[in-house]
């Protein structure tokens, strides 16, 4: 018996009973051959897919760096060894503090700006906020005692008063005269203000009638700043007496006192600023 593609065949005289053992062995052989063909085809397919993936990764740069010859790398940039510019230096000496404005109005040796009426009381009127005061008569004299009433004259003289400048301002029937007494030092001016008795004499003229004379009750103040002592006398131009309820008289007097203080302080600021900007000698 032989086996062909169509199954078993028998020659003449052979038994037609199939050889079942041979048939079974042939069938098993065919099965094994098919199995190995399927496994081999799967391995080849897997290898082909892996090759495609690897090729795609290398082509797109997906995490795989191309090999580079070390001789093709660029040379590192040359860095300068040292800078030619000099290093910054700082002084260990602290700069001097700015000049104190009060130093320039505390002593006549530093207070060199001319003392004049216009330097302290400029213009034809005075504006303080929404209040406007008309400027009246002004005067300047080295006879300090002649500008006072009561004991203030001798107090100014005994403390070394050099001169007195007066200016009068008025508004709505109220007039106030401010007297600025100039001394050589701050101590002299302070002492004169502290000892003040009597007061500065009112200054009439230029539209302001005589007031605060002949026994009329008026308000008087005394202050000092630097080498300047300043005094005010304020009242009604009608001759009416001033009382603690006379708010209008107090308001005008306070404005004049505040303005005079500012003018003295400004004088010191100007001189201190000029000294700070002057070249060192």
DSSP, collapsed to helix, strand or coil, labels residue 263 as helix
Tell which residue, 261, 257, 262, has the closest CA to residue 221: 257
* CA distances, 256 to each of 66, 133, 232 (Å): 92, 10, 8
Our measurement of the distance from residue 187's CA atom to the centroid of its chain's CA atoms, rounded to an integer in Å, reads 38
Q: Is the dihedral of CA 146, 150, 155, 156 positive or negative?
A: negative
Q: What's the pLDDT at 225? A: 98
**Residue 266 to residue 260: CA distance in whole angstroms:** 10
Beta-carbon contacts of residue 137 (< 8 Å; ≥ 6 apart): 166, 167, 168, 203, 204, 205, 206, 208
Over the stretch 180-202, which tens digit does the pLDDT of each residue have? 999 999 999 999 999 999 999 99
**Residue 213 to residue 250: CA distance in whole angstroms:** 18
Beta-carbon contacts of residue 157 (< 8 Å; ≥ 6 apart): 144, 145
**Residue 258 to residue 246: CA distance in whole angstroms:** 19
Low-confidence residues in the chain, pLDDT < 70: 1-96, 278-281
Over the stretch 111-169, which tens digit does the pLDDT of each residue have? 999 999 999 999 999 999 999 999 999 999 999 999 999 999 999 999 999 999 999 99
Q: What's the pLDDT at 88? A: 66
Q: What's the pLDDT at 149? A: 95
Our measurement of the distance from residue 32's CA atom to the centroid of its chain's CA atoms, rounded to an integer in Å, reads 95
Tell which residue, 116, 163, 153, 155, has the closest CA to residue 138: 116
Tokens encoding 206: 């230029």
Q: What's the pLDDT at 91? A: 60
127 phi, psi to nearest 5 deg: -115, 125
- Region for 247 from its dihedrals, namely left if φ exceeds 0, alpha if ψ lies in -120 to 50, beta otherwise: alpha
Tell which residue, 187, 162, 198, 13, has the closest CA to residue 107: 187
Q: What's the pLDDT at 52? A: 47
Residue indicated by tokens 């508004």: 171
Find the DSSP H helices in the chain. 20-60, 117-120, 152-158, 186-194, 247-277
């Amino acid at each position: 018996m032989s086996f062909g593609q169509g199954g078993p065949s028998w020659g003449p005289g052979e038994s037609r009973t199939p050889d079942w053992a041979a048939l079974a062995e042939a069938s098993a052989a065919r099965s094994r051959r098919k199995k190995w063909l399927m496994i081999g085809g799967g391995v080849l397919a897997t290898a082909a897919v892996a090759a495609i993936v690897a090729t795609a990764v290398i082509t797109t740069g997906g995490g795989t760096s191309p090999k580079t010859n070390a001789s093709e790398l660029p040379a590192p940039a040359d860095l300068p060894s040292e800078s030619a510019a000099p290093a910054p230096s700082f002084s260990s000496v602290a700069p001097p503090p700015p000049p104190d404005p009060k130093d320039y109005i505390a002593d006549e040796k530093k207070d060199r700006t001319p003392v004049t009426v216009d330097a302290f009381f400029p213009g034809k009127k005075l504006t303080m906020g929404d209040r406007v005061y008309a400027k009246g008569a002004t005067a300047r004299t080295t006879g300090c005692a002649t500008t006072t009433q009561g004991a203030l004259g001798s107090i100014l003289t005994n403390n070394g008063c050099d001169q007195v400048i007066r200016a009068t301002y008025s508004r709505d029937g109220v007039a106030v005269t401010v007297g600025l007494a100039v001394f050589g030092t701050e101590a002299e001016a302070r002492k004169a203000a502290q000892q003040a008795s009597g007061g500065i004499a009112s200054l009439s003229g230029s539209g302001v009638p005589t007031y605060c004379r002949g026994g009329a009750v008026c308000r008087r103040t005394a202050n000092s700043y630097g080498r300047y002592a300043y005094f005010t006398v304020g009242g009604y131009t009608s001759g009416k007496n001033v009382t603690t309820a006379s708010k209008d008289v107090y308001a005008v007097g306070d404005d004049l006192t505040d303005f005079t203080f500012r003018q003295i302080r400004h004088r010191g600021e100007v001189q201190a600023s000029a000294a700070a900007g002057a070249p060192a000698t």
